């Protein structure tokens, strides 16, 4: 029998461009301490299993994940680590709790991007070593090529993409934890430094540091421990072909298939009608539009018009990235997906402060793993 699973605790550090005061281990400790306090649990006694999601080389070291148990209270307990985007960690916890082997589980991810002194090389070394890497291009060329093809296939304009940056940076001004809130205009985006045409500087998110921990529990424990459980109604994930040569460049197929899986589990037939708001990946401005189409939150080719009409603004009919998204909060490496979940949970709890959305019941969080990957996950959460 399917068990219901809920988020019962959240903990996070502020998201900042730099964090010279805390080591990554102390950042994890701070986020975990807050999450366990919020859930009212002791990790040594109450949490059955843990999962952490980080990539080795983003920390400038190898086999980095042997170093994650001690600072979240997981020593001598069941922990597994994912070199993957953190929404996959949430999906793991959802599944493990569903097996019945585990009742309460913690999911951790963080970014210490400011410690990486040569970040472009991290992405460059992830490309095919024989066919792509020897060309020695700045790896963001992939985003430029994808944006170009997406705009070409769907008739989306550079102005419409720029509106995403304008919206998300403005949203971030109401998020005290966001690092890159700003009031900018479409012209600011269009006139910003041309990086990888058609991708301009302000179409690109900037990195941020920060840690996030979530505590999840089965229904029985959630009812005892928490007065505002946020239910995980469905999860999904998918990887498209990894090679640049055979992948799909216009449509985000990985997001479409991940969304279909999550909708199926959540029993959602008409996403746009049954979901009230979404936090989707916006690592680059066009990505938000591409992902909204893939997730069937608008009709194919309509995402540009949707942002133009203001439908995705905080006060619009379908708010998208009210937290500020990665463009406004900062991109948090593998923790980016958990930041999306965090915002959905805050909103569904009614704890989102000045950016609180009214009358919401169902929210969607979606992640993309980032360059040069084309994989991602989706979670659907609800407060009832």
Partner 1 sequence: MPLDKVTQVAQTKPWHGSIPVYGQYTFGIAGERFFRDIKDKGRIMGAKCAECNLVYVPPRIYCERCFGELAKWLEIPNRGVVHTFTVAHADLDGNRLEEPIVVALVKFDGVYGGLVHRLGEVEPDKVTIGMAVEMMLKPKAKRTGSILDIDYFKPIRA
Binding interface with partner 1 (CB under 8 A): 20-21, 57, 60-62, 115, 118, 120-121, 124, 129-132, 134-141, 143-149, 152, 193-199, 241, 243-246, 249
CB of 108 to partner 1, least distance (A): 20
Q: Considering Cα of 346, then 349, then 355, then 360, what sign does the dihedral take?
A: positive
The residue behind tokens 């019962």 is 8
Report helix, strand or coil for 83.
coil
Q: Which is nearer to partner 1, 243 or 300 (by Cβ)?
A: 243
- Contact indicator for 136, 234 with CB cutoff of 8 Å: no
CB neighbour list of residue 173: distance below 8 Å, 6 or more residues apart: 181, 182, 183, 324, 328
Q: How far is the CB of 79 from partner 1 (least distance, A)?
A: 24
Q: What is the rounded distance in angstroms from the CA atom of residue 321 to the CA atom of residue 323? A: 5
The SS3 call for residue 237 is strand
Angstrom distance (rounded) from CA 249 to CA 145: 8
Q: What SS3 class is residue 320?
A: strand
| Cβ distance to partner 1 smaller for residue 151 or 307 | 151
CB of 60 to partner 1, least distance (A): 6
A 10 A CB-CB count for 201 gives 14
**Encoded tokens for 37:** 């306090």
Tell the smallest beta-carbon distance from residue 279 to partner 1 (Å): 27
By beta-carbon proximity to partner 1, the closer residue of 252 and 360 is 252
Closer CB to partner 1, residue 64 or residue 237?
64
Give the nearest distance from C-beta 142 to partner 1 in angstroms. 8
At closest approach, how far in Å is the CB of 243 from partner 1?
A: 7
Nearer to partner 1, 139 or 376 (CB): 139
Token readout for 271 is 């996403």
- Complex with partner 1: residue 254 or 263, whichever CB lies closer: 254
């Amino acid at each position: 029998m399917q068990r219901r699973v809920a988020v019962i605790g959240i903990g996070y550090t502020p998201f900042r461009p730099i964090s010279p005061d805390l080591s990554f281990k102390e950042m994890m400790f701070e986020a975990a301490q807050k999450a366990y306090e919020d859930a009212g649990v002791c990790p040594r006694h109450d949490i059955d299993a843990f999962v952490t999601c980080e990539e080795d080389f983003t920390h400038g070291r190898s086999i980095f994940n042997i170093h994650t148990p001690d600072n979240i209270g997981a020593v001598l307990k069941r922990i597994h680590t994912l070199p993957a985007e953190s929404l996959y960690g949430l999906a793991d916890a959802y599944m493990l709790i569903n097996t019945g082997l585990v009742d309460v589980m913690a999911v951790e991810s963080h970014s210490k991007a400011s410690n990486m002194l040569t970040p472009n090389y991290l992405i460059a070394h992830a490309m095919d070593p024989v066919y792509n890497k020897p060309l020695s291009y700045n790896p963001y060329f992939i985003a430029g090529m994808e944006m170009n093809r997406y705009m070409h296939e769907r008739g989306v304009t550079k102005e419409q993409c720029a509106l995403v940056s304008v919206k998300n940076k403005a949203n971030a001004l109401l998020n005290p934890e966001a690092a890159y809130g700003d009031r900018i205009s479409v012209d600011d985006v269009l006139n910003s430094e041309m990086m990888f045409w058609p991708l301009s500087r302000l179409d690109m998110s900037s990195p941020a540091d920060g840690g996030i921990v979530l505590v999840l529990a089965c229904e029985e424990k959630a009812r005892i421990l928490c007065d505002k459980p946020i239910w995980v109604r469905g999860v999904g994930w998918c990887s498209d072909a990894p090679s640049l040569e055979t992948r799909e460049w216009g449509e985000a197929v990985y997001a479409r298939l991940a969304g279909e899986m999550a909708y199926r589990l959540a029993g959602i037939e008409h996403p746009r009608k049954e979901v009230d708001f979404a936090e989707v990946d916006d690592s680059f401005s066009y990505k938000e539009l591409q992902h909204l189409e893939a997730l069937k939150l608008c009709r194919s080719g309509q995402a540009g018009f949707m942002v133009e009409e203001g439908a995705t603004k905080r006060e619009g009919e379908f708010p998208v990235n009210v937290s500020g998204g990665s463009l406004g909060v900062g991109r948090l490496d593998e923790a980016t997906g958990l930041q999306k979940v965090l915002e959905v949970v805050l909103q569904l709890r009614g704890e989102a402060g000045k950016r609180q959305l009214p009358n919401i019941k169902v929210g969607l969080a979606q992640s993309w793993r980032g360059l040069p990957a084309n994989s991602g996950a989706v979670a659907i959460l609800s407060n009832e």
